[in-house]
Amino acid sequence: MKATKHCITLLVAALSLASLGANADDALIKKGEYLTRAADCEACHTTAGGQPFAGGTPFKTPMGTLFSPNITPDKDTGIGNWTDAQFLRAVHEGKGKDGENLYPAFPYTDYTALTDDDVLAIKAYLMSTPPVHNVVPANQMPFPFNQRWSLMFWNLINFKEGRFKPQPQQSEAWNRGAYLVDALGHCGQCHTPRDITMGLKDSKKFAGADLAGWKAFNISSHKQDGIGSWSDDEIIRYLGTGNVPGRAQAGGPMAEVIEKSTRHLSEADLKAMVTYLRSVPAQANDIDKARSEQGAPIASLAAVRGAPIKAEGANLYSGNCASCHQWSGGGIGNGYYPSLYKNSVVGADNANNLVLVMLQGVQRDMGNDKVVMPAFGRSLTDEQIANLANYVGKQFGGADYGLKAADVAELRKAGLH
Residue 296 has pLDDT above 90, yes or no: no
Q: CA-to-CA distance for 137 and 3, rounded, in angstroms?
A: 63
Alpha carbons within 13 A on the beta-carbon side of 135 = 2
Q: CA-to-CA distance for 408 and 248, rounded, in angstroms?
A: 23
Mean pLDDT across the chain? 88
CA R_g for the chain:
24
The one-letter code for the residue type at 56 is G
What would the pLDDT profile of 347-380 be if each residue is shown by its tens digit?
Answer: 888 899 999 999 999 888 777 777 888 899 999 9
Residue 302 has pLDDT above 80, yes or no: no
String of DSSP letters for 273-316: HHHHHHHSPP---S-SS-GGG-----S-GGGTSS--TT-HHHHH
Q: Distance of alpha carbon 200 from its chain centroid, rounded?
A: 17
Q: CA-to-CA distance for 359 and 385, rounded, in angstroms?
A: 8
Residue 405 has pLDDT above 90, yes or no: yes
What would the pLDDT profile of 169-224 be if each residue is shown by its tens digit?
Answer: 999 999 999 999 999 999 999 999 999 988 999 999 999 998 888 999 999 999 98
CA distance to 21, 25, 78, 184, 269, per residue, from 28 (Å): 11, 5, 21, 17, 19
Q: Which of 153, 144, 143, 139 is nearest to 105 (CA)?
A: 139
Is the distance from CB of 376 to CB of 325 less than 8 angstroms? no
CA distance to 47, 81, 164, per residue, from 75 (Å): 20, 5, 31
pTM for the model stands at: 0.87
Q: CA-to-CA distance for 191 and 110, rounded, in angstroms?
A: 13
The sign of the CA dihedral 187, 193, 195, 198 is positive
Triad 312, 316, 319: Cα angle to 5°: 140
Number of residues that this document lists for the chain:
417
What would the pLDDT profile of 107-138 be if each residue is shown by its tens digit?
Answer: 999 999 999 999 999 999 999 999 999 999 99
